Structure 1
Amino acid sequence: MATLVLLTLVGGRVATADTGDQENKVTDPVPLLELRTNGNAGWFWTLSEAEESAAVSQYGMTLEPTKLGYLLRQPFTGSQAIYRLRSNARATYLLTASSAERDSLVASGAFTYEGVIGYAFAQPHSATAELHRMNNGVEWRVVPDADVARFAQNGYTDDGPLGYVYPVYNRVGAIYFGTFDADGNRAFMDNVKSVYGRDNDWWGGVKDFAGYDAPQNAWHWPNTDFSDLKPSIGYYDDEQPATLERQIEQASSAGLRYFTFYWYWNPANGGGEQLIGGLRSFLQAANRADMDFNVMTCIHPWSNGNVSLRLPADQITKAADTIVDTYLGQPNYLRANDGRPIIEVCDDRGIGSGTANAVDTAAVRRFTDALRAEAKVKYGEDVLITLNDQLGVPSADSGFDGTQVQGRYDASRSYQRYVDTERGRIANYPGILIRGATSGFDNRPWDGVGIADPGPNATEQQLEAAFSWYDDHSIARFGTLLANLRSDIQASTRPPATDNLVLIYAWNEWHEGGHIEPNVRDGCAYLNTIRQQLALTGGAGCAIS
């Protein structure tokens, strides 16, 4: 790599901030952040959001919206280190992949060595592109391969490569509905017994509409194709770790990075977890290290007989401690790019004295504060907590850091309208955002077992009032939605902590039409579409086991 002739300019020294162990627990590539130094004297680069924040607040730097690519914080097989040096003459920095150049610049007295900023591939690797350093005789820039020609036209000379990096690295996960087991929804299984005459069947309705393992009974829609409603691995029991092992293989082979598990609380007998069979099996799976996971607390304001999903005020600390102590210390718990473990909340209306129409904000704040306090005591870490977008922009008093997007149904019944308007809709949510994509929605298999049937002579209008489904859904339109989200990520100026995370609704919401898990009709079509449209790099491609 060539060495730029140094200019002797007067400038201040810009100090750095330490990168904590919390950030170093993120094993995925993270975005390379670029900042303009105070007074536009030069440029500064870091992988650390803590360092970026300190550079802005303490030293007057400005975070730029540039998309330079994704590096790893840890060395890996085939990697090369990228070193950062600080000019001793003015507030500017330089990156190099050459240890010889590093040593020469330090020996000259013109630069101070600040350490390894991150690691890139030393040679071309699948889905990577070359990252360059360029100069114009006044300043150094870090330039993605796609922008080299443009910089050259503006008088910059290529100093050589810094390595090969992912220009795009989207971390995609799916919501996992972990109640396909004998310990799942007992009220639902009682309804299956009443309607279909089968004991202890947690697949009632789904298998009946599909017509594979039960007589065809699509109720009011006998001519509609429901043949996708059978997983490729068959109608499973998610309390068996072998089930999760096969699903982890399917998801990770397609490049998915994590499962988000619904998490429920039972206030009876002093309070405790419930409906977590799938989550427990995930933690027992032999290949669990191939996927990250996190929990999404669903604290609904609903009670049905002996079943309640509420969180009373006097059990808030116990519930928060259970989440933090049981899950956040797991080595593959999902973390934001800044290292914070991510806890998502799909409903907060059941906390304290909340109702379906009124949130108990003080109780919600006690819950988020309790999560943070226990994480700090137990692990010495901060957490990142987000709220379901369907509940609106989080109140500043509730303690949420941002928003996650999940299961979306457009009342127009048009999936195309949902696709066309989603990017504009999520623009209304400021700050930290975990984007989401709904693979489909159709709750007609709940007919009779989860939703009361409107009667054998129901009109189309009555059916549409009772059930929700998209008339024009297709996997191709799902692909367009994902492509739109990818464009939104590329153009984003949001905080980088979760800006490349996407949450899919859902892996296996089979009763509500949200499923990307391979099925007997479509095979890997959903997973292949996600992999292609969001440029996923992990795995060798969807494998149906």
Structure 2
Amino acid sequence: MSSRKDKKIVRKSRLIAFYLPQFHPIPENNEWWGKGFTEWTNVAKAKPLFPGHYQPCLPADLGFYDLRVPETRIAQAEMAREYGIEGFCYWHYWFAGKRLLERPFSEVLKSGEPDFPFCLGWANDSWTGVWHGCPDKTLIEQTYPGRKDEEGHFYACLEAFSDERYITVDGKPAFYIYSPQKLPEPKRFFDHWKELAVKEGLKGIYFLGNGNLSDHANDGYDGMVQPNPGLTFVKMRFPPKGVNYNIYKEIAEQVLAQQSALRTLLKRAFSVLRLHTPEAEEPTVFLYRDFISLALPGISADFDEYPCVIPNWDNTARCGCRAHILLDSIPELFRRHLREAIEQVSHRVPDKRIVFIKSWNEWAEGNYLEPDIKFGKGYLEVCRDEALINE
């Protein structure tokens, strides 16, 4: 009898998990939210909003970690590798030359540890107080000053792009953009960066956007990571305040009359979402089992589209009574969700059998793979079982 270690491990899919580098204090958060603030501040004080509501969501094996500690980053990577995650997509923040939350990734880059694949995802949104009850407060604005700033941004990323651990597609470093619709002149931006990349000895850049191909077909993206329509529905308070439900439904169905897939999603969404207008201080609750039936509409056979799966979601820690909640998420339901996504990319060459997972450690959004006190490593075990094959 051979042990697990004696067997050859074959990867069915490239699982890339989004990674939040927030769990350490920074001067800006000290100023905005109080000295010592991190996401753990909100996580620890969360309370259940109704009977049976799982809050607070608390970490198990890794504890309330500080990402300035190298041993923590190594433990995360070792755990991710053991359970089938190929790499992390670190959220990257660039505000016209100013960087935030960069320390954990910078130390990973400089130290060479952990020896675990990574790529960067540019969270190109302004920071506001919307998640903390201050929706009109802009903390730092995302701007796009032009070519000089683009060049500075590229060279700030070049060391990462050149690192042998960096995740590539078609031999090119993968760079993900969270809000494609906010990037002015995307094709010109991409051409500029690709020109700089070739000049520096790279094959180019493989640009990924978060969005639908139909919205960005002419923008120059190399691939798109599908936004999750199920989560989009959850985040929308149907129907809008003051709008008659039946009229709203009729208008929406007329608009989507020629789009059969979206029409199916819409009808399903209306059947499971609350059929009344939530009060301002009432959470929006959606069953996870219904969510996964909406979550993966299918990917293009002619363009590099990639699915994104979500194990759980509950941002009560950030939003309190205004939270959006996927209720009754359990590992076995996530298994169905992940299995479907892996199947969608199974026909591709191995390099492009990519499935994104949102997220590795978004604890304040109740959106994580890391072990918690309720399910332990349940979600990670699903990843291992579905993504790896022992031969």
2:283 corresponds in structure 1 to none
1:182 aligns with 2:25: yes
Q: Distance in 2 between matches of 1:485 and 1:401?
A: 20
Q: Which structure 2 residues correspond to residues 149-298 of structure 1 after superposition, within 5 A?
A: 166=10, 169-183=12-26, 186=29, 190-191=32-33, 193=34, 199-209=36-46, 218=47, 220-221=49-50, 224-226=53-55, 228-267=57-96, 271-284=97-110, 287-289=113-115, 291-298=116-123
Distance of aligned partners of 1:481 and 1:200 in 2 relative to their CA distance in 1, 3 Å threshold: closer
1:446 corresponds in structure 2 to 318
Distance of aligned partners of 1:261 and 1:443 in 2 relative to their CA distance in 1, 3 Å threshold: same
The secondary structure found in structure 1 opposite 2:40 is: coil
Q: Which amino acid is the alignment partner of residue 21 of structure 2?
A: G
**Structure 1, residues 305-330: CA drift from partner, whole Å, max 9, x if none?**
4522333325222213322x221100
Q: Distance in 1 between matches of 2:207 and 2:388?
A: 27
Q: Distance in 2 between matches of 1:203 and 1:506?
A: 16
1:382 aligns with 2:238: no
Work out whether residues 18 and 88 of structure 2, in 8 Å CA contact, stay in contact via their aligned partners in 1.
yes
1:433 corresponds in structure 2 to 305
Q: Which amino acid is the alignment partner of residue 364 of structure 2?
A: H
2:124 corresponds in structure 1 to 299
Work out whether residues 14 and 86 of structure 2, in 8 Å CA contact, stay in contact via their aligned partners in 1.
yes
Distance of aligned partners of 1:370 and 1:229 in 2 relative to their CA distance in 1, 3 Å threshold: farther
Displacement, 1:486? 2.5
2:218 corresponds in structure 1 to 397
1:542 corresponds in structure 2 to none
Distance of aligned partners of 1:506 and 1:536 in 2 relative to their CA distance in 1, 3 Å threshold: farther
Task: Tell me the C-alpha RMSD between the 2 structures.
Answer: 2.8
1:343 corresponds in structure 2 to 175
Q: Distance in 2 between matches of 1:429 and 1:349?
A: 23
Q: Which amino acid is the alignment partner of residue 150 of structure 2?
A: I
Work out whether residues 388 and 406 of structure 1, in 8 Å CA contact, stay in contact via their aligned partners in 2.
yes
Distance of aligned partners of 1:305 and 1:388 in 2 relative to their CA distance in 1, 3 Å threshold: closer
Displacement, 1:286? 5.8
Distance of aligned partners of 1:388 and 1:421 in 2 relative to their CA distance in 1, 3 Å threshold: same
1:82 corresponds in structure 2 to none
Q: Which amino acid is the alignment partner of residue 238 of structure 1?
A: L
Displacement, 1:536? 5.3
Displacement, 1:248? 0.8
Q: Which amino acid is the alignment partner of residue 290 of structure 2?
A: R
Distance of aligned partners of 1:526 and 1:489 in 2 relative to their CA distance in 1, 3 Å threshold: same
Distance of aligned partners of 1:341 and 1:237 in 2 relative to their CA distance in 1, 3 Å threshold: same
Displacement, 1:500? 1.0
Distance of aligned partners of 1:204 and 1:444 in 2 relative to their CA distance in 1, 3 Å threshold: same
Displacement, 1:279? 1.5
The one of 187, 194, 205 aligned to 1:372: 194
Q: Distance in 1 between matches of 2:150 and 2:301?
A: 27
Distance of aligned partners of 1:426 and 1:396 in 2 relative to their CA distance in 1, 3 Å threshold: same
Work out whether residues 178 and 279 of structure 1, in 8 Å CA contact, stay in contact via their aligned partners in 2.
yes
Displacement, 1:517? 1.1
- Structure 2 regions of 5+ residues with no counterpart? 1-5, 129-136, 235-272, 274-285
Identity %: 18
Q: Distance in 2 between matches of 1:406 and 1:243?
A: 30
- Greater Rg over alpha carbons, structure: 1
Q: Distance in 2 between matches of 1:231 and 1:285?
A: 27
The one of 114, 131, 143 aligned to 1:310: 143
TM-score, with length taken from structure 1? 0.54
Displacement, 1:428? 5.8
Displacement, 1:414? 3.0
Q: Distance in 2 between matches of 1:251 and 1:278?
A: 17
Q: Distance in 1 between matches of 2:36 and 2:104?
A: 21
Structure (1 or 2) with the greater helix fraction: 2
The secondary structure found in structure 2 opposite 1:518 is: coil
Q: Distance in 1 between matches of 2:32 and 2:60?
A: 23
Q: Which structure 2 residues correspond to residues 452-467 of structure 1 after superposition, within 5 A?
A: 463=321, 466-467=322-323
Q: Distance in 1 between matches of 2:204 and 2:127?
A: 31
**Structure 1, residues 78-111: CA drift from partner, whole Å, max 9, x if none?**
xxxxxxxxxxxxxxxxxxxxxxxxxxxxxxxxxx
Distance of aligned partners of 1:435 and 1:529 in 2 relative to their CA distance in 1, 3 Å threshold: same
Work out whether residues 361 and 369 of structure 2, in 8 Å CA contact, stay in contact via their aligned partners in 1.
yes
Work out whether residues 183 and 277 of structure 1, in 8 Å CA contact, stay in contact via their aligned partners in 2.
no
